[in-house]
């Protein structure tokens, strides 16, 4: 599936009113926190990394991110292109320590 296609398909499940942007931004923060928690528990508490749970939570992050972009009328393709340009400008020879 192409990311722009995903972005449009995910929008089908968006529920909201005038507070859509705030809801999506807060949801993005919350779901990102759940990803961070899984990594923290793996790294510092010796818990097994549940890849299925990680995949689920990362999917939730992707959904919220796609809806913030959709609300702002910015395609994932545009976001990806802008990010790659930024990375290439910042690290023209790749990242080095």
Provide the pLDDT confidence category of residue 95 given band limits of 50, 70 and 90: confident
pLDDT at 80 over 90: yes
**What's the whole-number mean pLDDT along residues 27-42?**
98
Domain assignment present for residue 13? The answer is: yes
Q: What is the pTM of this model?
A: 0.89
Query: Which structural domain, as residue segments, surrounds residue 72?
Result: 3-90
Secondary element (H or E) of residue 61: helix 51-71
pLDDT band at 88 (very low <50, low <70, confident <90, very high): very high
Q: Is residue 22 part of a domain?
A: yes
In a domain, 52, yes or no: yes
Could you give the CA distance from residue 87 to residue 21 in angstroms, rounded to a whole number? 27
78 inside domain? yes
Q: Identify whether 9 is part of a domain.
A: yes
Can you give the pLDDT at residue 45?
97
The count of other CB atoms within 10 Å of the CB of residue 33 is 13
d(CA 17, CA 4): 23
**Does a structural domain hold residue 97?**
no
Q: How many domains does the structure of the chain reveal?
A: 1
Domain-embedded: residue 96: no
Q: Is 95 inside a domain boundary?
A: no
Q: What's the CATH number where 58 sits?
A: 1.10.287.1080
Q: Is it the case that residue 97 has pLDDT exceeding 90?
A: no
End-to-end CA gap in the chain: 35
Give the model's pLDDT for residue 94. Answer: 92
pLDDT of residue 15: 83
Residue 87: pLDDT band with limits 50, 70, 90: very high
Does the pLDDT at position 72 exceed 90? Answer: yes
């Amino acid at each position: 599936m192409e990311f722009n296609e995903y972005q449009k398909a995910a929008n089908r499940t968006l529920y909201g009113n005038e507070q859509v942007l705030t809801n999506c931004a807060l949801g993005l923060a919350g779901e990102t926190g759940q990803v961070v928690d899984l990594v923290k528990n793996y790294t510092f508490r010796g818990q097994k990394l549940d890849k299925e749970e990680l995949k689920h939570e990362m999917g939730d992050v992707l959904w919220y991110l796609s809806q913030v972009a959709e609300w702002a009328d910015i395609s994932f393709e545009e976001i990806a292109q802008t990010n790659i340009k930024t990375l290439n400008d910042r690290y023209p020879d790749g990242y080095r320590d």
